[in-house]
């Protein structure tokens, strides 16, 4: 198994995504609105932004070769609000999404 390191919490997660899937560590949900109103836990929106922690080998093509992944470990990405599967680790909850569910890569 490949070892993915959660960058913010400095803990290791033994997880290797398959095919064209990536493991994303979501950013923390906002505690306040732009106007300064403090949000309770029930009103917080599900985060859509996160950091790629692990990347699969790529989708198997009909030719028998693997497709090339465009995402890399450490990329900050936006993904669909209801896409992916949440997985709980000691390091926290992370999301497994397909590369096609990633909407954009954030350039720093």
Count the domains in the chain. 1
Q: How far apart are CA 20 and CA 66, in angstroms?
A: 9
For residue 76, give the CATH number of its domain.
2.30.33.40
Full residue range of the structural domain in which residue 50 is found: 3-29+37-106
pTM of structure: 0.74
Which tens digit of pLDDT belongs to each residue from 8-39? 444 566 888 888 999 999 887 666 666 777 76
Is-contact 96 22, C-beta < 8 A? yes
Which tens digit of pLDDT belongs to each residue from 56-104? 999 989 998 988 999 999 999 999 888 888 888 887 889 999 999 999 9
Which DSSP string corresponds to 74-85?
T-EEEE-TT-SE
């Amino acid at each position: 198994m490949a070892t993915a390191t959660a960058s913010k919490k400095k803990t290791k997660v033994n997880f290797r995504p398959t095919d064209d899937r990536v493991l994303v560590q979501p950013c923390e949900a906002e505690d306040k609105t732009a106007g300064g109103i403090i949000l309770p836990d029930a009103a917080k929106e599900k985060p859509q932004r996160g950091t790629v922690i692990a990347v699969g080998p790529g989708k198997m093509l009909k030719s028998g070769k693997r497709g090339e992944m465009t995402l890399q470990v450490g990329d900050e990405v936006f993904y669909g609000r209801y896409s992916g599967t949440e997985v709980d680790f000691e390091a926290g909850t992370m999301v497994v999404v397909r590369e096609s569910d990633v909407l954009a890569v954030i350039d720093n």
